[in-house]
A and B are shown apart, each in its own frame.
Chain A
Amino acid sequence: MKKTLFDKVWDSHVVSSVENGPDILYIDKHLIHEVTSPQAFNVLDEKGIPLFRPQQVVATADHNVPTENQHLPIQDALSRKQVAQLSENCEKHNVTLYGLGHPYQGIVHVIGPELGITQPGMTMVCGDSHTSTHGAFGTIAFGIGTSQVAQVFASQCLLVAKPKSMRVIVSGDLHPDVQPKDVILYVISKLGTDAGTGYFVEFAGSVFEQMSMEGRMTVCNMSIEMGARGGMIAPDQTTFDYVSGREFAPKGEELKNKIAYWKTLPTDEGAIFDLEHQFDAADIRPMITYGTNPGMGVKIGDAIPELDDASFIKSLNYMGLKAGSNLLHMPISHVFIGSCTNSRIEDFRAAANYVAGKQKSPDVSALIVPGSQQVAKQIVAEGLDRIFEDAGFVLRQPGCSACLAMNDDKIPAGAYCVSTSNRNFEGRQGQGARTLLASPVTAAAAAVAGKIVDVTQH
């Protein structure tokens, strides 16, 4: 039988199937962070059972951490407690922790790939919906709830029904100023935020074949925003080159054998998907969202649609925007470049490349938050820190930061923030904050101009 990439990885991880029920799926790697793990550790204690495979769990502190003075104790008492609890739990259960101060600390979905923990053909989970990021490697990776975190702790397995399969093909040539973020915002704006529910998505076609690993991660990261459990891209030479040589990647003979296996993973010619969508790359332009879900996006310069729908109207009211108007040249006051969607070195190179020699607008506060300590180091090594600082941007220490504003990095009520993160939900970046999702280049350009601009026209 002809199999998809997803079938191949899934089927090789099924321990057994419950009659008329879900599969028992074996999990290779389990990533955890401070927010969704404490209650799961409690379950182990309540049941008096050990953590089954501690070597397959990796922890980091990211959601709650401050992005300034990380060497000092965390000011917020509750955040401090959550982070301390993570350290305690990891120590007690023998789990490797890259906590604050560790050179590997960072956003969980940034450090997995950069350390070579994420590899093709694996199953990976984390109590965080953007676990889909790791699918860029041809890995089945998806977010789980805390009850499931406890299940994986207890058994290294999950009870899950196999999702249906969808393929999203984007082929042709992208406009040179179009970023991977624009591609995924475009796809979600076309398909809607619930189009992927019940599906695992494979992104295929020349656009993804030519994309860097960083770009693929940005795309797969947001597959959850179209409702899918996860997204995947077939592993190829780009993938193998990225993985090779990383800290926890296989080495020597083992790597050779692995690569031979990884080469068998791409979808067989003629394999059937439950659903397929095709898009033409030439139609994609820099995107921006105008509403309170990631599907509410338009090409910069296009009008906000006029829909007679209560939820749509409620959303525009929250955003303070008018149907039929367009966002080009609209003033903004905040810019956030960071989050697991766009905080890898490539993102900062792209932003710095635009910013170099320019000054940020005096009316904008612009925050740059690297995804990990390693990215932060690389920023300095390449001199990007000076470009940003000379231009008036503020460079911070790694963490989730203003993506969900659990720490002090909040956007004030009513303010517009062009953000490279993945969610523009009401209050996501702070109570009353208004988020406009875009690529790092569009965000950098907005910081410089003090308003929304179309980088293809600059």
Chain B
Amino acid sequence: MEKFQILESGMVPLTIENVDTDQIIPARFLKATDRKGFGENLFRDWRYTPDDKPKADFILNNSAYAGQILVAGNNFGCGSSREHAAWALADYGFRVVVSSFFADIFKGNALNNGILPIQVSPEQLKAIFAAIDKNPATQAKVDLEAQELCVPEAGIVVSFELNAYKKMCLLNGYDDIDYLLSQKEAIKAFELNRS
């Protein structure tokens, strides 16, 4: 996994609430057997008409907004456990998603794919949306070590929470699977003990 330390980037505002995994990546694109190429179909049905023409009113089709930070309405990522949603966001190029609320499974899937979900208060989210609305090119800075998200232009500084273990993984680019493999002996001992 790629390390995550400091990210400075523009933001893409998606003001819709309750964005579910079927919107992030519709089920008909889940037939792949590898992890690549999902970015093309990120938000497919909002982004394109049924005959594959970009919809002008969708935010990803508006070149005024660009960057690796997606700012989304409340309760982002609800719905299925499909990691394809996180792959699609990562493949498209997002490394941070900011929202006032995330669904549990999505949060875990995002972290396992090097995407940092940052939870802010509803007021902070509103302020960030307002700043982007005023100036689409507004820049933000995410400092993982300091657990801080700043939007200097709007005077916004948010400290966010993150589990210490997950932070260590992201900073160093570690995967859970490597950690678990290092615990094999303890796991075998546990199995022997219970039978």
Interface positions of A (Cβ within 8 A of B) = 12, 15-16, 18, 20-22, 24, 26, 35-36, 38-39, 42-43, 47, 49, 63-64, 76, 78-79, 81-82, 85, 127-129, 131, 143-148, 150-151, 154-159, 161, 163, 193-194, 197-198, 227, 229, 292-293, 309-311, 314, 404-406, 413, 423, 425-428, 431
Contacts and interface: CB of A to CB of B under 8 A. Distances in A.
A380 B27 CA distance: 31
Contacts of B15: 310
A154 B180 contact: yes
A81 B78 CA distance: 28
B34 A39 contact: yes
- The listed residue with most B CB atoms (<10 A of its CB), out of A38, A129, A314, A423, is A129
B176 interface: yes
B190 A15 contact: yes
Contacts of A64: 31
Contacts of A76: 31
A148 B181 contact: no
Contacts of B187: 15, 24, 26, 155-157
B70 to A, nearest CB: 17
Interface string B98-126: 00011111001100110000000000000
A147 B169 CA distance: 14
Interface residues of B, number: 55
Interface in B152-195: 163-166, 175-177, 179-181, 183-184, 186-187, 190-191, 194
A194 B101 contact: yes
Given A79-B31, A143-B105, A405-B28, A154 B181 contact: yes
B41 to A, nearest CB: 12
B186 A15 contact: yes
B84 to A, nearest CB: 8
A22 B112 CA distance: 14
Given A43-B177, A82-B31, A151-B177, A129 B17 contact: no
Given A16-B186, A18-B165, A64-B31, A425 B177 contact: no
B79 A423 contact: yes
A194 B180 contact: no
A158 B84 CA distance: 19
B26 interface: yes
Contact of A24 (B18, B33, B183): B183
B23 interface: yes
Given A49-B181, A154-B177, A144 B34 contact: no
A314 B81 contact: no
14 contacts: A15-B186, A22-B163, A24-B187, A63-B30, A128-B81, A129-B81, A145-B86, A145-B108, A145-B109, A157-B180, A193-B18, A292-B18, A404-B22, A406-B28
